[in-house]
């Protein structure tokens, strides 16, 4: 099996993993073949590596909180004639161990070694630590 890489992206305007899930399942019009897709302007140069088991990690309120497996990339041409990339996502949103992430533009690559771990099955519905406590723990090296 070849090399794998992930993407990381801010989920702008999202307050929680539950809100992200609700948006994708019930409110977004970006559904094709039963899958939500996220449209971005840039096409990944490392497409094959992302499609080799990679996920998109969602940053919500300054923390990486969840991920979704990337299924494929599809071309979209906007009404403005500009080529865009539709990132087709697995419907399952997997919670991960929350980790702090500063704001950034667009998406970035995320090496699997740097990706937060999935939460164990029994902890998936556990509330995240308050952001200020999580930040304080990270600053002293506990998280």
- pLDDT digit string, tens, across residues 75-99: 999 899 999 999 999 999 999 999 9
- The whole-number pLDDT of residue 26 equals 84
Residue 60 tokens, joined: 């919500």
Q: Is the pLDDT of residue 119 over 90?
A: yes
Helix (H) or strand (E) holding 40: strand 35-40
When pLDDT is cut at 50, 70 and 90, the band that residue 1 belongs to is low
- The whole-number pLDDT of residue 93 equals 96
- The whole-number pLDDT of residue 126 equals 53
**Mean pLDDT across the chain:** 88
Q: Is residue 1 part of a domain?
A: no
Give residues with Cβ within 8 angstroms of 64, minimum separation 6.
Answer: 8, 57, 58, 96, 98, 99, 100, 101, 116
**Total domain count for the chain?**
1
**61 or 2, which is more confident?**
61
Q: Is residue 119 part of a domain?
A: yes
- The whole-number pLDDT of residue 118 equals 96
Q: Report DSSP state, residue 24.
A: I
Name the residue range of residue 52's domain: 6-139
When pLDDT is cut at 50, 70 and 90, the band that residue 121 belongs to is confident
Q: Is residue 12 part of a domain?
A: yes
Q: Is the pLDDT of residue 29 over 70?
A: yes
**138 or 118, which is more confident?**
118
Give residues with Cβ within 8 angstroms of 121, minimum separation 6.
Answer: none
Q: Is residue 35 part of a domain?
A: yes
């Amino acid at each position: 099996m070849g090399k794998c890489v992930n993407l990381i992206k801010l989920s702008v305007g999202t307050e929680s993993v539950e809100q992200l899930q609700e948006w994708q399942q019930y409110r977004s019009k970006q559904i094709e073949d039963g899958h939500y897709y996220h449209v971005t302007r840039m096409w990944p140069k490392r497409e094959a590596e992302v499609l080799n088991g990679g996920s998109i990690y969602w940053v919500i309120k300054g923390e990486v909180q969840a991920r979704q497996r990337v299924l494929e990339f599809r071309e979209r041409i906007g009404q403005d004639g500009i080529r865009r990339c539709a990132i087709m996502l697995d419907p399952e949103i997997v919670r991960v161990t929350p980790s702090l992430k500063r704001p950034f533009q667009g998406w970035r690559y995320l090496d699997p070694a740097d990706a937060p771990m999935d939460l164990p099955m029994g902890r998936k519905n556990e509330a995240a630590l308050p952001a200020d406590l999580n930040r304080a723990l990270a600053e002293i090296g506990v998280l």
